[in-house]
Chain A
Amino acid sequence: MERKLREYEERRLESVKLATQLLFASAVTSPRVGGIDEISIHCLETRDEIEDLAIAIDKMADDNPSWDFFRSDAVQVRDADAVLIMADRRSGHDPMDSSCNLCGYMLCDEWRKAPRMPDEPSVAFRGPFCLLRSMNLAYALNGAVSLARELGIDHAIKMSVGAAAIRMDLVPYKCGIALGFLASVTEKNPFRDLPKRWAEYNNETLQNRLIHRLFPTFRSIYS
Chain B
Amino acid sequence: MAIINSEELLRGGMDRAVELMAVAASTALKFGKPKIKIVAMGPEEFQELSDFCAGLAEVSPLFDRDGRSFVDLAAEDARALLIGAKRKSVYNYDCGACGYRTCEELNKAETTESVVINGPCCHFVVYDVHMAASAAAAAAWRMGLHCRVFQTIGGAAAGCGLVEDVDFSIGVGVSYQPQNPFFDRRKYWSEEEWAEKFAAEFPSFTRGFMGAVE
Contacts and interface: CB of A to CB of B under 8 A. Distances in A.
B131 interface: yes
Interface string A135-170: 101110111011000000001010100010000000
A95 interface: no
A153 to B, nearest CB: 13
B123 A104 contact: no
A198 interface: no
A100 interface: yes
Contact of A138 (B60, B97, B130): B130
Given A115-B99, A135-B130, 9 more contacts: A66-B102, A100-B117, A101-B116, A102-B120, A102-B126, A104-B112, A104-B120, A139-B134, A142-B131
B135 A142 contact: yes
Interface string B99-130: 11111000001001010111111011011111
Given A127-B97, A138-B134, A163-B95, A177 B102 contact: no
A103 B168 CA distance: 11
A194 B131 CA distance: 24
Given A101-B117, A124-B93, A159-B95, A131 B123 contact: yes
A142 B138 contact: yes
Q: Is the interface of A mostly helix, strand, loop or mixed?
A: loop
B95 to A, nearest CB: 4
Interface in B76-103: 92-103
Nearest to A99: B114
Contacts of A127: 95-100, 123
B10 interface: no
**A interface residue count range (under 10 / 10 to 19 / 20 to 34 / 35 or more):** 35 or more
- Nearest first, the 8 A-B pairs at minimum CB distance are A104-B120, A128-B99, A104-B119, A138-B130, A142-B134, A124-B95, A125-B97, A138-B127
B130 A102 contact: no
Contacts of B26: none
B134 A30 contact: yes
A138 B126 contact: yes
Given A129-B97, A145-B131, A102 B168 contact: yes
Given A128-B99, A138-B134, A141-B127, A103 B119 contact: yes
Contacts of B126: 102, 131, 134-135, 138
A124 B97 contact: yes
Contacts of B151: 33, 100, 132
B5 to A, nearest CB: 34
B121 A131 contact: yes
Given A102-B121, A103-B98, A131-B123, A157 B31 contact: yes
A31 B149 contact: yes
Interface string B39-64: 00000000000000000000010100
Output the residue of B100, B114, B120, B135 with the most chain A CB within 10 A.
Answer: B120
A166 to B, nearest CB: 11
A36 interface: no
Contacts of A141: 29, 127, 131
B125 to A, nearest CB: 10
Contacts of A104: 98-99, 109, 112, 119-121
29 contacts: A33-B151, A66-B94, A66-B102, A66-B103, A67-B94, A101-B114, A102-B117, A103-B98, A103-B99, A103-B119, A104-B99, A104-B112, A105-B112, A117-B96, A123-B96, A125-B95, A126-B96, A127-B95, A135-B127, A138-B129, A138-B131, A138-B134, A141-B29, A141-B127, A141-B131, A142-B29, A145-B135, A146-B134, A159-B93
B130 A139 contact: yes
Nearest to B95: A124
B114 A106 contact: yes
A137 B127 contact: yes
